[in-house]
Structures are given as structure tokens and as C-alpha cells.
Structure 1
Amino acid sequence: MSASSFASPAPHIDDVVILGGGLAGLFCALKLAPRPVTVLTASPIGKGASSAWAQGGIAAAVSEQDSADAHARDTMEVGGGICEEKIVRLMTQEAGDRVRDLLGYGVPFDQDLEGKLQLSREAAHSENRVVRVRGDMAGRAIMDALVAAVRETPSIRVVEGYLGESLICEGKRVTGILARRRGGMERLAFPAKAIVLASGGIGHLYGVTTNPSEANGHGLAMAARAGAIIADAEFVQFHPTAIDVGRDPAPLATEALRGEGAILVDKAGKRFMEAIDPLKELAPRDVVARAIFAEVTAGRGAFLDCRASVGAAFPERFPTVYAACKGAGIDPVKDPIPVVPAEHYHMGGILTDANGRTSLDNLWAAGEVASTGAHGANRLASNSLLETVVFAARIAEDIQGLMPTPRTAHWPKIDHTIQDASQRNEVERAAISTLRKTMSANVGVIRNAEGLRGALAVFQALERRCERVSITNMIVAAKVVAAAALARTESRGGHYREDYPDADPAQARRTFLTLAEVEMIAQAAEESEAGQRALAAGELA
């Protein structure tokens, strides 16, 4: 990875522009202070961030009986044999320092009467090492604390209401971001000597997801269109226990409930995980997701029964889940919770090194939009927030070391009043609806060549119909995921092919693709019999 030397400061050029107002973007901005930083976000900071929706917590080996080595082993065991070991060990070793940073920013992690952090266990962890806030409120509490810290930091300019559309490049060098005012057509260029993409994941490309609408693959597509290498895009994690009440995004029944002893049953009350995996409800997420998917597809339904394990303590111990259930007319103290798998996290993303550098000069990436190799084929529970803060901090340190002494922060005024974002035309609305349905049906929990080729053919047709860059970005991101999934002819981690149900030792390696390669795969898929059948069935040819 490379980052070219920086030119002399120019008054109209930012030192750093960060795209994304979630945990990765805000943590990086705070770590860069007092260097002037502009944070671009389509929504008010913290409001459209997937980080705020995280319920479990942040994994860190901070107890006396735990170790960074044990945390690393658990991470790599779940990662399906393709984790970058050096990256994993770096992440687990720096976890304690990053938790202390968050405490310093005012995050109210649960502590006992002696002031020690209270730790819980989640699926596939060998020790209690998940730091939480009031059971299921870690994400919201972390974001509230960081938003407050950012608002009090004069070196950070937050520009809300602007949607990143394209990277501005001079050859392989990224020199800025072109952003559109949300709800309108006004565009502004934000030139900078360093660009950090912290734009989140791809959840809203799927019809059922736990992610907010802002998690729509824009950053991934922007980097791909600029020529960046994308890694491991086929590996998508589906949370097994989204609450199945027809809401978009789907509310989440945190994995911590299963950690507390909740069981999975069908509509007849029969427990079904005992026959599938020795770890039962605490098996890796991909195993549990496929089991629930099978129950729902077979018509038996799937329910999370918390009555014996949590019972009357539910409102106090898991207030977020309790409120979501009550809002849908379910009392989890007395009733099993209907659940369904939902897109939750993307292990793939823009390829980065240990300092967050991408394959393009002057471009870094952090958080879910990046692929560091820490998660491999399947993310260990509560490692997402950890990876985000570890590598956001490393990016800040890397940029600080490359740049001269920061100038005093001064920016011209920009109108960033957030406008109504509902001005899509009927073609665009139909395209997004078709894309999300196709991703869930063909690029979801269970995949096969027929469905993946059909999906790529549909995406090709949709792309020709849409002109708005923001919609094209969603389609490009979907194509990247589907093409990578078609190319990996095996099952591993979060990627399951029913036509190739076993892992292939020869494919125990990471995937690296450019958009040019994705386009070749998509074109061949469109021309295939499966592609033509999908187009005919959808009347998109």
C-alpha cells in the first residue's frame, strides 16, 4: 500500500476529509485532533450509523484470566481459515487501549462496585470478554459519547446532509470527494490531502437487514469505480435473530440473549439447534442463520424463547430488544420472539493494510467499508466495533506522521441543512426495490450459480436504466458482492453455496477483485442461460 507525499498546505484544501459519521469516522476525527478535519455525512452524525445499532458490545481481552492470544485464536477459528493472522493479533493486542480511549471519551461501560468492567460472553468466544452498556445499548452509548466529544472539538467540521458520490482522482492519486446535497442535485467538491472512507456497509442492498438505509454500499462502489482493489466481497454475515415483524430495518434480538441461555424453537416449541451443532444456540452465526433459514423456509417458523433464561428481568436487562418487541405487540417475558436471518455485517470491503491504506494513493478506509483481513470468512461476535476503533486510530496516527504541522482550522460557510431525501423517480424506486429483493433471494444466506448469474444479469439491466450516481453506486456494490460469490465455488464462513456445500482447501485464501474484473464476470452472467431466464422472468431485458 502506498501514500504519496503531501503538497504544501493550501487554504482551500482540507488536511483530511472523512466520509461517514459513524464510529469509524468520528473516532478517527477525534484521534486526528487538533488537525483540521471535515466529516461528511448524509444524516446527522450518529443517526444513520450502523455503529449506533450495535447491541452486543466491543470485544476486548481485559480480564485477568483472558489474553489477546486467546482472543486472536477465537477470531481465527471462526474466520474460516482466511484471516490475516498478523492483523488479527494486532487488533486483539490493541483492544484494551481502545476501550480505555472510549472510557476517556465518556462511554459508560458497565462496571461493578469496584470499578472493574463487567464482561459477558457471546457466540464462539472462549472467555467473557464483551464490554457492554446496560445489556444491549453499547452502540448507542458509544455513539452518543463520541458525538458529544466531536461537537466540542473545534478542529472538526461536520458537514451534514451531503452524500458522497465519487472520488476525485488524478491518476491513481485521490485528491477529494464529490458529494451531492441530499434531496437535491447540488454538488460540491471537497478537496483534501488525505481522504478516509468510513461510510459503513452494504446492509440496505438487501430486502431484510438490521442496518439503517445509509448502509448502502456507496463507499465500496466509489472506491471500486476509482480502481481500488476490493477484498473478500462474497463474505456477508447474516444475523440469525432479527425480529420478524415486517419492519425495515429489522430490529435485532441481540446475540447476548442466547449468551444468557435463550433457546431457539419452532412454532411447535421444539428446540432445533441441538441436532445441528454441539454449541447449539451459541454456534457460529452462519451455522445458526442457515438453521433458522431452513426452519422458516420449511414453514415451521423460528422463535427465540427467552422466558426461562431472562423472563421478568427482560425490560431492565435488554431494554432495546424489549421495546422493539412491545412495539410489535410481543411480550418477550411471556412470548417467544419470531426471528429470521437478516443481513448484518459485510466482512469484505476495500482492501487495506495494517494502517488502513488502500491500493490508491491518499485514500484510507476504516470500519465496515474496509477489508483488513481481521474477520476472514466470518466475523466473531463483537469484533466489528473493535476493528473499527483499532484501525481508525491507526489511520489517524499514519496520517499524522505523513503530514506537516496542522494549520488553524478555518472553513468557508456551507449550507448543510438536511433536505427531504424522497425525490427519487418511479424508475429509481423500482430499481432499488428489485435490487434489494434480488440480493435477498439470490445473494443471501444460501446461494447457487443459477441464482447468482441471474442476479448479475438483473443488476446489469438495472444499471442501464438508472442515471443518478447514488443509485448506480448501489448497483455497482451489489454486482461486486454477487460476482465475488459466483467466483468462489465452495462454502466457507458467511458464504454458502448449495451447489458447492463443502469447503475446498485449495480455495482457503482471500479474494481480490477490481471493478474491471467484476464487469467481465457480470457480462458473462448476463449472456448465460441463467441470466437470460432471470431477465425474461423479471421483464427487464
Structure 2
Amino acid sequence: MNAGWEAAADLVVVGSGVAGLTAALDAAELGLRVVVVTKDAVDAGSTRYAQGGIAVVLGDVPGDTVEAHVADTLTAGAGLSDAAAVTEILYDGPAAVARLRARGAVFDSDADGRLARTREGGHSAFRVVPAGGDATGAEVERALLAATTDRRLPLLPGHVAVDALRDERGAVAGLAVLDDAGRPGVLRTPAVLLASGGYGQLYLSTTNPATATGDGLALALRAGAAVADVEFVQFHPTVLYTGPAVGRRPLVTEAVRGEGGLLLDRAGRRFMTGVHPLAELAPRDVVAKAISHTLAATGADCVHLDATAIPDFARRFPTVHAACRAAGIDPGREPIPVTPAAHYACGGVVTDLHGRTSVPGLYAAGEVARTGLHGANRLASNSLLEGLVIGARAARAVAADRNTPRPVAGNCLVPWPAVPLAPRELVQRAMSAAAGIGRDAAGIAAASDRIEAATALGVPAGRAGVEDAALTLLAQAVLAAAGTRTESRGCHVRTDFPERDDRWQRASLELTLDPTGRPVVRTGTAVAA
């Protein structure tokens, strides 16, 4: 397809969440010409929905240390986190939060004027810094967007990223986009940073907004990059249940359990006390799995989160309180009905700790990336911190890599061949049935066959088509990885292989596209020696 317009920049950032805006602001301060591209409104991504806070050790909580935060993260990651990555990212946390506060982010304070703290599942200390009670992501987004406006950084909303253009050596030379009317354009650039979020919309029920369709991962795969750990899809244990629903569901932050909320079955009995020493504050994969087992055993549609003992619930958790009241529930007087829902992609595009992928000029940060921090299960509230840290590091990497100039291709034709497309709802139903909490070989194979039978080649003509192509490709990738990993670890639960298998310890599955465009597990990455 011919480009309708062209522009040029030193760096194009895809996504306007915490990682993307942090990278854009830092890159601009380093003297780069930056353009931020986002397919929806600039605040429509996942960042604003993050409730609990930012997990960080600032040295003002007696007894807590960065080493303890590292240990908690490694425990949650179930053997697949990269210890060096965890250590580097978490030690960078205090400086990253300080830069965010300098850009205007306002966090909650306690009675002594210090930053308030809460605790979430898997944490051994009160180290999660909240804003607005349970509106941390919204405050982070507000502050970064305000800073972006102050610096007059170019924002291009309503434009979906289609493909990375590459030169004859395979290095990035630009980005092809489509606007809301399907009109094409090209941004000529030697550097593209993907900060486009995850793929929660792969499932019928999710905490993610409609934008979370895996576009960035699909773009990276088509450009020749590897993805890893995509089978580890974290399901948040507590999402408000108001009956069977499709699409984004209101989150009930883990901090509610951190401040005393108790999980009850349909008979009003606590069920987490016999499951894990931390009970309701066990890592998310443990709690989500326990809730699923409880629902299966009791035949109930939901469990209940009793937060009636938390004083002044409406003030402490205004976002959750508003969602509950809209559903006719008073959390100060009655338990909140909850179920798990797809929440966070622990895997993503393989990068180093500076956001670099294996494709020259292609970078990734935030949920779209796999740095080694999360492993098989993300520790609560580590995601905003990772976005801040890696977003800043990626900006510096782009600036440093400019010292090796590369020619930018002059061809204005955007290659967008026919790609596999399956109906979105069919993909979501197949993935929810076979690749949610509890998977087995028969279900994975059936889902793969069902999607394959409904897939046809087509050329996406607009945002919906680009998203459908991404979801089709990501479904294939997740099913391939889930079918290959014959063990249960973190948030990947195989009912036909219910135990951990030491052969898979520290073994991440990397996937790339084969010559036919299908995701395949790379030889030699399946089992550690």
C-alpha cells in the first residue's frame, strides 16, 4: 500500500503509558526528536487502570531492604526470573520514582507526612506506594501526560502501528501506521520503541482496556524479534463479579487483601489459610488457582472478598468503592463478589536491560517486553516500576546507539502482505476455554485446531483488522508455548502435568516466526541443561 503521508523523527514511541511516556520525555531531554504514536486516546491504555501502587524500597520503612524486595520477586517468579535483571531494575527503583515525583506525580502521605505504604500479595513488607488511594496508575498517567504537554512533545493519537520498516540489513528504518479512517502513513526513523502493553483482550474477561490486543508483540515477531514466556498469563484473583461478562471488568486491588480483606467461599468459610502460609497475601498465581479450585468444588459462580472490617473503605479505596456501588454492592457492609480474570502478560518481546531487542533499532519497554523481571508470575505492583526504569534506560540506549548511524531506506511502499486472521470472538472463546487457569494437552490442541479452521489470509484495512491479526498470531504463540511446557509453574497451570519439573527450571521458551509466518518454539530453548 502506498504511504499517504511521511514524517521523520529520531525515535518513534508506540504507546502512551508509563513506559512510553517516560522514554519519550527522557529521550527529548537527551536532544532526540520524538513522536509518540497511540491508536486510541492518549490515556486509553492500561496504565491508568493500575490501582495498588508502585513497589519500591526507599529506605524509610524499618526492616525493609531492596534485597528483601529482590527475594520476594524471585519467589513470585517461580524460578524463571533473571536474578541479575531483578536486582538491577529494583535497585534503580528509588531514582525512577524520584524522577516521576519531580515530573509532578503526587503520592499519598501518612499522618507524619511520609509517603504512605500498603502491602500486596507476595510482599514481605509494606512497600507499595499508592496514589489517590487506589488510583496510582491514573495519577502516574496524569503527571506524565502533563509533562509531555509542557514539553510540547508531538502526540499522534488515533494511529495504529502496523509494521516496522527495515532496510536491506534488517535494521529499523521506519514505522507504517494507519489512522482511524484506514489512511496509511510512514514515520521515517532509525528507532522504534514498543510500549504498547499486553494482550489481555485475548480472553473474554480481562482487567485490560480494549487497546490491549498484543499489537506490539505481533509487530516485533513480524520484524524478526523473539518473544518469550508468553504462556505465563497472570490472572488477577479478584475482579468484581456481576454476572457473565465480556470485555474489561473492574479490578478489586490486591491492597484490599493487604489491609485485611478475607476471601470466603459460598458458605462464608475462609479457604486460603490451608493453601499458603501467607493466606490471602499469597502470590497471585496461588490465590487465582485456589479460587478456581474453590469454584469448581462448590459449583459457585464467584467467591467473596470480605472487606467490611477495613475502616472508611470509601476513602481508602475510592475506585473500588465506586465500581461496587455502581453494581449495587456496599463493600462497607457486605462482601464483594469476585472471580479471577486475565490481567498481565509476564512474557513479551525479548530485550536486554536497556530495552534493546535482537532487531537493530527496535526497542521495547513495559508489559510488551520480557526483561527477565517477572519470570513465571509477576509480583504485585512491580509493573509500574519496571515501566519507569526500562523506559528511562531505553531512551538512553537509543541516544547511545545514534553514534552508529544507519542509512534510512528511501522506498515509500509499505509492505503489508496478507496475514492470518480469525474472528476475534472465536479466538477469545477458544483461549478462555483452553488457555486460562488450568490447561491440558487435549484442550490446547482443540483450541489450536478451532482457531486454525477459522483462520483465513487477509489484508487488515484498519485498526480492528490490525488488532485481529495480532490476536490471531498471539493465540498461536501462547498455545504453542503452553503446549510445549509440560509442567505447572507460576501462572502456567497444566492439569495433566500438575507439578513443577526441574528439567524446566530457568528455561524460558523463545518463539519466532517460521518462513510461513507461524510462531514456533526455537530449538534449544526448551529445557535447561
Query: Fold conserved (TM > 0.5)?
Result: yes
| Cα distance per residue 1:217-249 (max 9 Å; x no partner) | 111011111211111111110000011123630
- Deviation of the 1:278 alpha carbon: 2.0
- Secondary structure of the residue that 1:498 maps to in structure 2? coil
1:171-250 maps to which residues of 2 (within 5 A)? Answer: 171-182=169-180, 184-245=181-242, 246=245, 248-250=247-249
- Secondary structure of the residue that 2:304 maps to in structure 1? strand
Give the 4+ runs in structure 1 shifted more than 4 A: none
Distance, in Å, in 2 between the alignment partners of 1:461 and 1:111 is 55
| Equivalent residue number for residue 424 of structure 1 | none
| Cα distance per residue 1:485-537 (max 9 Å; x no partner) | 11111010010100111111011111111122983769xxxxxxxxxxxxxxx
Distance, in Å, in 1 between the alignment partners of 2:163 and 2:296 is 40
| Equivalent residue number for residue 512 of structure 2 | 514
| Equivalent residue number for residue 29 of structure 1 | 24
1:243-258 maps to which residues of 2 (within 5 A)? Answer: 243-245=240-242, 246=245, 248-258=247-257
- Secondary structure of the residue that 1:106 maps to in structure 2? coil
Distance, in Å, in 1 between the alignment partners of 2:404 and 2:174 is 20
Distance, in Å, in 2 between the alignment partners of 1:131 and 1:405 is 40
**Pair 1:490-2:482 in alignment:** no
Distance, in Å, in 1 between the alignment partners of 2:121 and 2:470 is 34
Contact 1:301 1:338 in 2 (8 A): no
Match of 2:449 among 441, 457, 460: 457
- Deviation of the 1:405 alpha carbon: 13
Q: Which has the larger displacement, 245-254 or 285-294? A: 245-254
| Equivalent residue number for residue 333 of structure 2 | 334
Percent identity between the two aligned chains = 42
Contact 2:308 2:334 in 1 (8 A): no
1:379–1:272 CA distance, 2 compared to 1 (3 A): same
- Deviation of the 1:41 alpha carbon: 0.4
Distance, in Å, in 1 between the alignment partners of 2:114 and 2:282 is 29
Distance, in Å, in 2 between the alignment partners of 1:474 and 1:490 is 25
| Equivalent residue number for residue 61 of structure 1 | 57
| Equivalent residue number for residue 82 of structure 2 | 84
Distance, in Å, in 2 between the alignment partners of 1:91 and 1:187 is 38
- Secondary structure of the residue that 1:193 maps to in structure 2? coil
1:333-482 maps to which residues of 2 (within 5 A)? Answer: 333-403=332-402, 431-464=423-456, 466-468=458-460, 469-470=465-466, 471-482=468-479
1:18–1:521 CA distance, 2 compared to 1 (3 A): closer
- Deviation of the 1:464 alpha carbon: 1.1
- Secondary structure of the residue that 1:18 maps to in structure 2? strand
Contact 1:463 1:472 in 2 (8 A): no
Distance, in Å, in 1 between the alignment partners of 2:518 and 2:485 is 16
Distance, in Å, in 2 between the alignment partners of 1:185 and 1:227 is 25
Distance, in Å, in 1 between the alignment partners of 2:471 and 2:112 is 49
- Secondary structure of the residue that 1:437 maps to in structure 2? helix
The amino acid across from 2:343 in the alignment is H
**Pair 1:111-2:109 in alignment:** yes
Contact 2:256 2:307 in 1 (8 A): no
Distance, in Å, in 2 between the alignment partners of 1:463 and 1:355 is 36
1:12–1:213 CA distance, 2 compared to 1 (3 A): closer
| Equivalent residue number for residue 132 of structure 1 | 130
Distance, in Å, in 2 between the alignment partners of 1:397 and 1:285 is 33
| Equivalent residue number for residue 294 of structure 2 | 295
- Secondary structure of the residue that 1:503 maps to in structure 2? coil
Match of 2:145 among 144, 147, 157: 147
Distance, in Å, in 2 between the alignment partners of 1:500 and 1:270 is 29
Distance, in Å, in 2 between the alignment partners of 1:199 and 1:334 is 39
| Equivalent residue number for residue 305 of structure 1 | 305
- Deviation of the 1:304 alpha carbon: 3.3
Distance, in Å, in 2 between the alignment partners of 1:492 and 1:110 is 35
Contact 2:121 2:254 in 1 (8 A): yes
- Deviation of the 1:296 alpha carbon: 2.5
- In structure 2, runs of 5+ residues without a counterpart are 1-5, 406-419, 522-529
Q: Which has the larger displacement, 395-404 or 473-482? A: 395-404
Distance, in Å, in 2 between the alignment partners of 1:81 and 1:307 is 33
1:260-279 maps to which residues of 2 (within 5 A)? Answer: 260-279=259-278
- Deviation of the 1:196 alpha carbon: 0.2
Contact 1:240 1:285 in 2 (8 A): yes
1:520–1:110 CA distance, 2 compared to 1 (3 A): closer
| Equivalent residue number for residue 95 of structure 2 | 97
Distance, in Å, in 2 between the alignment partners of 1:327 and 1:393 is 38
Distance, in Å, in 1 between the alignment partners of 2:128 and 2:49 is 16
Contact 1:23 1:49 in 2 (8 A): no
Distance, in Å, in 2 between the alignment partners of 1:477 and 1:307 is 37
The amino acid across from 2:265 in the alignment is D
- Secondary structure of the residue that 2:231 maps to in structure 1? coil
Match of 1:18 among 13, 19, 24: 13
Q: Which has the larger displacement, 457-466 or 226-235? A: 457-466
Distance, in Å, in 1 between the alignment partners of 2:396 and 2:519 is 38
**Pair 1:41-2:38 in alignment:** yes
TM-score (structure 1 length as normaliser): 0.86
- Deviation of the 1:122 alpha carbon: 1.0
- Secondary structure of the residue that 1:242 maps to in structure 2? strand
1:55–1:439 CA distance, 2 compared to 1 (3 A): same
- Deviation of the 1:374 alpha carbon: 0.6
1:114–1:265 CA distance, 2 compared to 1 (3 A): closer
- Secondary structure of the residue that 2:291 maps to in structure 1? helix
- Deviation of the 1:24 alpha carbon: 1.0
RMSD: 2.1
Distance, in Å, in 2 between the alignment partners of 1:459 and 1:515 is 17
- Secondary structure of the residue that 1:119 maps to in structure 2? coil
Contact 1:264 1:302 in 2 (8 A): no
TM-score (structure 2 length as normaliser): 0.88
- Deviation of the 1:58 alpha carbon: 0.5
Number of aligned residues: 487
Q: Which has the larger displacement, 106-115 or 246-255? A: 106-115
- Secondary structure of the residue that 2:289 maps to in structure 1? helix
- Deviation of the 1:454 alpha carbon: 1.5
Contact 2:266 2:304 in 1 (8 A): no
- Deviation of the 1:402 alpha carbon: 2.6
- In structure 1, runs of 5+ residues without a counterpart are 1-10, 407-426, 523-541
- Secondary structure of the residue that 2:332 maps to in structure 1? coil
Distance, in Å, in 1 between the alignment partners of 2:231 and 2:433 is 15
- Deviation of the 1:325 alpha carbon: 0.6
- Deviation of the 1:449 alpha carbon: 0.7
Contact 2:308 2:333 in 1 (8 A): no
- Secondary structure of the residue that 2:343 maps to in structure 1? strand
- Deviation of the 1:174 alpha carbon: 1.6
Determine which structure has the larger helix proportion and give its number: 1
